[in-house]
Chains A and B, each alone.
Chain A
Amino acid sequence: MQVDEATVRRIARLARIKVTDAEAKGLENELTQILQWVEQLGEVDTSAVEPMTRVVPSAIKMREDVIADGEIAATVTANAPMSEDEFFVVPKIVE
């Protein structure tokens, strides 16, 4: 798999990471190299194999649907880069 600059930019956009022109060039090679290396998995016949989901088979655990905590807005917003009156302040989304 050859990763070109357009693909790097598309992926970076999906990942919401800004890349400079110089970085995009370097990433083309690095991602190509890594993806070519993982392509060796194609040698393995997995047509009759289930994907692994758990180490030890066990039933999914259930718990009571009850409120366990809450009323801690100040704690929740304490680390926000911007907050006001226990609300997160975020950039304007709708024009």
Chain B
Amino acid sequence: MTDLTKLTLSEARDGLKKKTFTAAELTDAFIGAIEKANPAINAYVLPTPEHARAQAKDSDKRIASGKAGLLEGLPLGNKDLFCTNGIRTTACSKILGNFVPAYESTVGQNLWNAGAVMLGKLNNDEFAMGSSNETSAWGTVVSPWRRKGKDGKPTTDKLVPGGSSGGSSAAVAADLCLAATATDTGGSIRQPAALTGTVGIKPTYGRCSRWGIVAFASSLDQAGPITKTVRDAAMMLKVMASHDLKDTTSVDAPVPDYEAALGKGVKGLRVGVPKEYRVDGMSKEIQKLWDDGIAWLKAVGATIHDISLPHTKYALPAYYIVAPAEASSNLARYDGMRYGLRVQGDNLTDTYEKTRAEGFGKEVRRRILIGTYVLSAGYYDAYYLKAQKVRTLIKQDFDKAWADVDVVLTPTTPSPAFAFGEKSGDPLAMYLEDIFTVTVNMAGLPGMSVPAGLSSEGTPLGLQLIGKPFDEETLFRTAQAIEDAAGRFKAPGDWWMKG
């Protein structure tokens, strides 16, 4: 039999439908692959093979009785930010300890209701704060990709899989699940997707329920999938998205059949290219990638338009006020009283302070302190309110652009994947990873990263598409056109399967 782990989500769906293999066989193939590869990749912080086998068995029964759901029997990875009923959830922080939720996230429940199988919990940056998965309490994730040295041969440098959804991107790229859940607050779906040759979409704010997802910055957080192909992302988002009474910011709007949009093509579509994204020092290969994307879309009938988004440069500094402010507020709940870690101190305040000093990692502490500072007495107007006003201007830039274009095309990241430690010493250098993605969260728009080429080091690069609110369909059909032209990119070698 062919290696079932190499299938895409849609190929696996077709195989199950044709009864070429069973959900149990498919699931076992992934369980075997995870056992072999996880020591090298560390994508899973908690594999759940027994849970997966039980779900697969039920799926096979439903398939046999003609009651298959949209994702019946398809094995997925679930980011450890999503609460799982009866299964440990830590957000990859020591402070949650052995927290076992008594409830399931709405996005997760939607997937399991559609018949999907959960293979385990995936690694991420602690509380989703990071761009390299280096801040996880469970250790770093190693990208299956390796860069070439000057002699053209692959090096053994350990590359980051991006972050914060680094476990999700690495697991999908290394064939350790068919697709994965992820979340994106400033780029945490799209940047890891770009760095691993996978597809990632952050839908419009409100498209997916945030209920049961460990909160980072509530006005920015959105769930979405990381997948092998554009079609797979369409299949996943269709099921993940829903209106949910438990999240008042989730939107009561019909969820379209995204897969149906894929074949629509881009003839006559107006694609905007914002001049402000041509940042100083942009590498030639990122520039070329962007030009390739423009040429591909033109070749299949889209028209290209120069646009201006004048407040782009202020998105990142505004983000680093809004996100830490909201995080400092959200993370106040970790006080060592009701769940998670408690470090006994001399008195109540001392207990709080010791618990939070020991439970939170360095980057999380840094962001809580910044957030506390900008929200402290006398500074609210100067920082948080100012940043929220700048946010309005960023959104208005896009509102104006939508008069002339239907979708915006940019690179996803300013550079290809880097090695461990190369950026972790300098918080600002790491924050710049999100320079092209963060505007999308600030404006609440949908954004998608599609693999589009390889760097001179032989590692993947992605193009980003930005759409109008709730117009994910246009992102999918444009992304399909890019995928058709660029092809797919697989990490060579399978070295991670060799132990």
Contact = CB atoms under 8 A, between A and B. Distances in A.
* Most chain B C-beta atoms within 10 Å of own C-beta, residue among A56, A72, A78: A56
Given A8-B369, A30-B366, A61-B248, A55 B204 contact: yes
A50 B342 CA distance: 42
Interface stretch (B39-47, B225-233, B386-394): B386-394
B364 to A, nearest CB: 10
A51 B99 CA distance: 37
Contacts of A35: 370, 373
A24 to B, nearest CB: 10
Interface of A: 3, 7-8, 11-19, 27, 30-31, 33-35, 37-38, 40-41, 43-44, 46, 49-56, 58, 60-61, 63, 72, 75, 77-82, 88, 90-93
A44 B443 contact: no
Contacts of B443: 55
B290 interface: no
A55 B349 contact: no
Contact of B248 (A27, A46, A60): A60
Given A31-B370, A40-B317, A55-B204, A81 B392 contact: no
Contact of A91 (B97, B348, B386): B348
Contacts of A51: 385, 388-389, 391-392
Given A30-B427, A38-B321, A55 B205 contact: yes
Nearest to B377: A14
A17 B360 contact: yes
Contacts of A79: 99-100, 338-340
A17 B368 contact: yes
Contact of A15 (B338, B339, B368): B368
Interface in B192-206: 204-206
A34 B428 contact: yes
Interface of B: 97, 99-100, 102, 204-206, 245, 248, 251, 311, 313-314, 317-318, 320-321, 328, 332, 335-342, 344-345, 347-354, 356-357, 360, 365-366, 368-370, 372-373, 376, 383, 385-393, 395, 427-428, 443-445, 469-470
A91 B353 CA distance: 13
Contact of A55 (B99, B206, B386, B389): B206
A30 B318 CA distance: 17
B356 A18 contact: yes
Given A27-B366, A31-B370, A93-B348, A49 B392 contact: yes
A36 to B, nearest CB: 10
A64 to B, nearest CB: 10
Contacts of B339: 79-81
Contacts of B444: 54-56
B357 A17 contact: yes
3 shortest interchain CB distances as A-B pairs: A55-B444, A51-B388, A79-B339
B393 A19 contact: no
A49 to B, nearest CB: 4
B443 to A, nearest CB: 7
Contacts of A30: 366, 427
Nearest to B366: A30
Contacts of B345: 91
A34 B370 contact: yes
Contacts of B97: 81
B251 A31 contact: no
Contact of A56 (B251, B311, B348): B251
Nearest to A33: B428
